[in-house]
Amino acid sequence: MRPLHLNLLLAGGLFVSLAASLFLGDARLNLSSLAGALGGSDDLPALLMRELRLPRALLGLVVGAGLGGSGAVLQGFFRNPLADPGVVGVSASAGLGAVMAMYFGAAALGVLAVPFAAVAAAGLGVASLLLLAGPRASATTLILAGVAIGSIATALTALLMNLAPNPWALAEIAYWLMGSLQDASWTELRFAAPIILAGLALLALTPRALDALSLGEESARSLGIDMARLRLVVIGGTALAVGGGVAVAGAIGFVGLVVPHLLRPLVGHRPGALILPSVLGGATLIELADLATRLLSGPGMPLYLGVLTALIGAPFFLWLVRSLPGRAI
Amino acid sequence: MRLELSSVEFGYQGRPALSQIGLEAGGGELLALVGPNGAGKSSLLRLCAGLLEADRGEAMLDGASIHDMPSAQRARRIAYLPPDGVSAWPMPVRRIVALGRVPHLKPLRRLTAEDETAIDTALDRAGIAGLADRPFDQLSSGERARVLLARALATRADLILLDEPTAALDPRHQLGVMEILRAEAGRGALVIVAAHALELVARYADRAILMQAGRIIADAPPAQSLSQARIAEVFGVVAPGGIAPTPLQLGD
């Protein structure tokens, strides 16, 4: 399939899933409520659409796009199909950053404090991954380094929860960590979207370098690729794209793993050509997964998006590890 | 086109890898770097490719320092094939060969007609035009080596550096690779190849550069530099009468 056709197909799929998450649910909303919402009408369906469904759907879209795109870039950069922001500890690092900001009351400094902390911590996570595993890391080294970074971040997060002043703060952190879009509002969207889009814009600079990198670092350098610059772009882009999402939606795992892996054969395994399809695919997957959590959640018993993606993603991860002879475990 | 190195020194963290390297060569020549493992062949190639920076002295291409050249310009003029090359992803052969055009691509542009021609020619010269659509992981090791060689040829560089492109190949593929390199030199490129297959070097190279412990100890046509005495001194093996060119010919 030509990349253009694939991207058009995926964009179509994304549009349909976006429509589904706008119009399906307990409250039956339709096109006229969307028109009302956009037109500034104040009746109930228009309000539901404008204040609940629309921001939630759009937030899912950008969060998923960031996760899918950074998964594709990380896999291309590490030349390893197991690299995913969740698996290699970047999401956990971002989570730690956000929790620290919440715990120490930095959130009071301004609405951007939490996402900023998440982005900075995600960047630190990717940078330490590079330092520990190196760009030529084998699958085993990469996963071990990722597990180490993820564990440290999770342990420190747990420590903060341990020291939480009251059960409500504890519950807030715990639920937030599960990953969810249920609190989505225009506020979240307004600060997450620019961060994630900036990250994706950085990641969009990498396709040619990632293609050249398939032949190894030395070959890539001999083809004129500036590895130091590529490293910075990957670290910065991933930190923004993942950190921005984690800051508002918590850690949603496995999207960055599953989506690029499923789409890779369709682009002839070219790491550069995989980025845009993974952005579209990641957005679609989050849109559908969030719709499922919304439809499956009973009254007073919300199902968390991160839980659902992990339930689907973890078995997939196991299967992937098993099906890569000599590359992992 | 002229490559010049004079009294170049290089070491890895203080451990000297190359010392007093002097070398001059021009377009149209096929040079072979010969020597035991650890003699400095790979370091010398990487230095010429601009991937390493000399501690003293410099590798110069037409009077300009290779290491200080803008990386895009260097990538257009110098093609480098590392040892044990692989492709991390099973991309189709044509896509891999197309990577040789990366230095020529304008930002955000597709391959031009000139790029496509260069890719087709490289596929032809490497004898793998029939494999263009095959994924890399379904190729034999001989085919893989030719694909990576075609990638280096597709750049159409003046200076082509290859680190053991014939390793792990059967005799027929070894001959095939050397024929391709001979032809590239015939078109005016300077080809420098590190190799262990001494009979092949004796047959195909214009000059065999014998290296030992980071130094060049002989730089002459193979008949002289691969003499019995030199071979015994450097490799510690006895080659009665020196290394004779391989008598093997490519069959049909």
pLDDT at A137: 63
User: With pLDDT > 70 as the criterion, what percentage of chain A qualifies?
Assistant: 96
pLDDT digits (tens, 9 = 90+) for B147-165: 999 999 999 999 999 999 9
Q: What is the mean predicted confidence (pLDDT) over A263-268?
A: 92
pLDDT at B7: 92
pLDDT at A325: 55
- Check pLDDT > 90 for residue B34: yes
- Check pLDDT > 70 for residue A135: no
Amino acid, single-letter form, for residue B162: L
pLDDT at B225: 92
In a domain, B250, yes or no: no
Domain-wise residue ranges, chain A? 80-322
Phi, then psi, of B14 in degrees rounded to 5:
85, -20
In a domain, B228, yes or no: yes
pLDDT digits (tens, 9 = 90+) for A61-113: 999 999 999 999 999 998 888 888 887 888 899 999 988 888 887 767 777 78
DSSP bridge partners of B24: B4
| B96: CATH | 3.40.50.300
In a domain, B116, yes or no: yes
Q: What is the mean predicted confidence (pLDDT) over B119-133?
A: 94
Q: What is the mean predicted confidence (pLDDT) over B48-72?
A: 93
In a domain, B192, yes or no: yes
Residue of B231, B233, B205 lying closest to B220 (CA atoms): B205
- What CATH architecture does domain A80-322 belong to? Orthogonal Bundle (1.10)
CB contact under 8 A, B89 and A224: no
**Which residues of B touch chain A, with CB atoms under 8 Å apart?**
46, 49-51, 71-72, 74-76, 78-82, 85-92, 95-96, 99-100, 102-103, 105, 135, 148, 151, 155
pLDDT, averaged across chain A: 87
A212: which chain B residues are within 8 Å (Cβ-Cβ)? Answer: 99, 102
pLDDT digits (tens, 9 = 90+) for A99-121: 888 888 776 777 778 888 888 99
CB contact under 8 A, A268 and B95: yes
pLDDT, averaged across chain B: 93
A80: which chain B residues are within 8 Å (Cβ-Cβ)? Answer: 88
- Check pLDDT > 80 for residue A1: no
pLDDT at B183: 95
In a domain, B248, yes or no: no
In a domain, B246, yes or no: no
Containing structural domain, residue B77: 2-235
What ipTM did this prediction achieve? Answer: 0.93
Q: How many domains does chain B have?
A: 1
In this prediction, residue B142 has a pLDDT band, given cuts at 50, 70 and 90, of confident
